[in-house]
Amino acid sequence: MTNEEQYLIDKLGRENPFRVPDGYFDTIVADVMAHVDSESAKQQQGAKIVWLRRPAYWAAACICALFVSVTAYFAYSDKTAGENVQAAAYQSVDHEFEEAADYAMVDNMDIYACLSAE
């Protein structure tokens, strides 16, 4: 036995402080069954209400999903958006060509001379 255990025994004694009231086990079964019956009745009423609401929730979720899908489809399949992306790609290529020409110090006359020589 450790010092802590001995200290607790000296301080509190060996008596069990937890006691069951007299006649508790005689009525426990009836009390529990009464409580279970009342809880199951409440749950059955609640289950009926929730079950009636569920199809409405499902329908609302389907409508929301359909709305989001249609909106996304039309937002991303717009032809002008595709044309804008294509134009941006051409502008990017033109810009890169201009930078390369500036770096090589080639002007329009040099480009014409190169093309006419071929």
Type of residue found at 48:
K
| pLDDT band per the 50, 70, 90 thresholds, residue 79 | low
Choose the weakest-confidence range: 25-29, 35-39, 47-51: 47-51
- State the residue for tokens 């001379």: 113
The secondary structure of 49-110 as a DSSP string is HHHHHHHHHHHHHHHHHHHHHHHHHHHHS-HHHHHHHHHHHHHHHHHHHHHHHHHHT--HHH
Residue with the bigger pLDDT between 51 and 67: it is 67
CB atoms within 10 A of CB 106: 13
* Residues contacting residue 107 through CB under 8 Å, at least 6 positions apart: 101
> Taking 80 as the threshold, does the pLDDT of residue 26 lie above it?
yes
% of the chain residues with pLDDT over 90 = 4
Q: State the chain's mean pLDDT as an integer.
A: 76
Type of residue found at 99:
E
Q: Cα angle at 85 between 79 and 89, to 5 degrees?
A: 145
pLDDT at 66 (0 to 100):
93
Dihedral of CA 25/30/32/35: which sign?
negative
| pLDDT band per the 50, 70, 90 thresholds, residue 91 | low
